[in-house]
Amino acid sequence: MTTADEDKSGDQLLVAIHGDVAYVRLQNRGSFKVSKAMKQFGASAIEQNVDKIVVDLTHCVGMDSTFMGVMAGLAFRLRKKNNGRLHMVNLSSRTRGLLATLGLDQLVETSMAGATPPEFEKVLAPNRAMQPLAPDESSRRETAEMMLEAHEHLVEVSPENLPRFKDVLTFLREDIKKAEAEHDRDPGA
């Protein structure tokens, strides 16, 4: 994984692994722009037998559905592989509401700002060194596939999300087919 000082949009992930816990500090927005890097970091941490991923939302102003779908996917993977949990800490009423709207508050452990479990506070202290993750450049097809998987996870979290994302799922599936067809016509593209 590559590192960078900051993405042009200001959306940024800072990460660290301490023992069996992976820490992520989200700066600005949890968006599709940082979702692939989040997914890759989380998957790598789970393969290293991390059983907790802690996402600090102190500096988060919002999250899109792709990012929340990636969070759901990581929570499912943690449970399956290591019987682990994904914790989202330092939530504002806004970020808590976003999670609740899609049902993620039933899947992940949440703590409001000021109520972070003491075992996580030391690593999340502002003066602790964390490495920035650079968003990976992805092809149109890779981005669409990641977004499709994220939205499928949201439907898995709550069937009530299907009507909300039905058009998005259809669009992404069609976009993947178009990208495949374009690649087949011009493999060098």
pLDDT classification of 183: cutoffs 50, 70, 90 = confident
pLDDT the model gives residue 129? 82
d(CA 157, CA 170): 19
Kindly list the structural domains of the chain, giving each domain's residue range(s) and its CATH number in brackets, ordered by start: 12-136 (3.30.750.24)
- Of residues 182 and 53, the one with the higher pLDDT is 53
- Of residues 4 and 153, the one with the higher pLDDT is 153
- pLDDT exceeds cutoff 50 at 2: no
- Using alpha carbons only, give the angle 147, 89, 16 rounded to the nearest 5 degrees: 75
Q: What is the pLDDT of residues 127-149, one digit of tens each?
A: 678 999 987 778 888 999 999 99
Closest by CA position to 70, among listed 108, 25, 18: 108
Query: How big is the chain, counted in residues?
Result: 189
Closest by CA position to 143, among listed 37, 55, 3: 37
d(CA 56, CA 113): 9
- Of residues 182 and 161, the one with the higher pLDDT is 161
pLDDT the model gives residue 138? 83
- pLDDT exceeds cutoff 60 at 8: no
Answer whether 68's CB lies under 8 Å from 31's CB.
no
- pLDDT exceeds cutoff 60 at 13: yes
Q: For the chain, what percent of residues have pLDDT higher than 70?
A: 93
**Sign of the Cα pseudo-torsion (98, 152, 85, 48, in order):** negative
Cα–chain center distance at 89: 14
- pLDDT exceeds cutoff 80 at 177: yes
Q: What is the pLDDT of residues 14-30, one digit of tens each?
A: 999 999 999 999 999 99
Mean pLDDT, rounded, of the chain:
90
Give 188's contacts (C-beta < 8 A, 6+ positions apart).
none
Report the first-to-last Cα separation within the chain, whole angstroms: 24
Which structure tokens are listed for 114? 């000021």
Residue 132 phi, psi (nearest 5): -75, 140
Q: What is the mean pLDDT of residues 113-126?
A: 86
Give 137's contacts (C-beta < 8 A, 6+ positions apart).
none
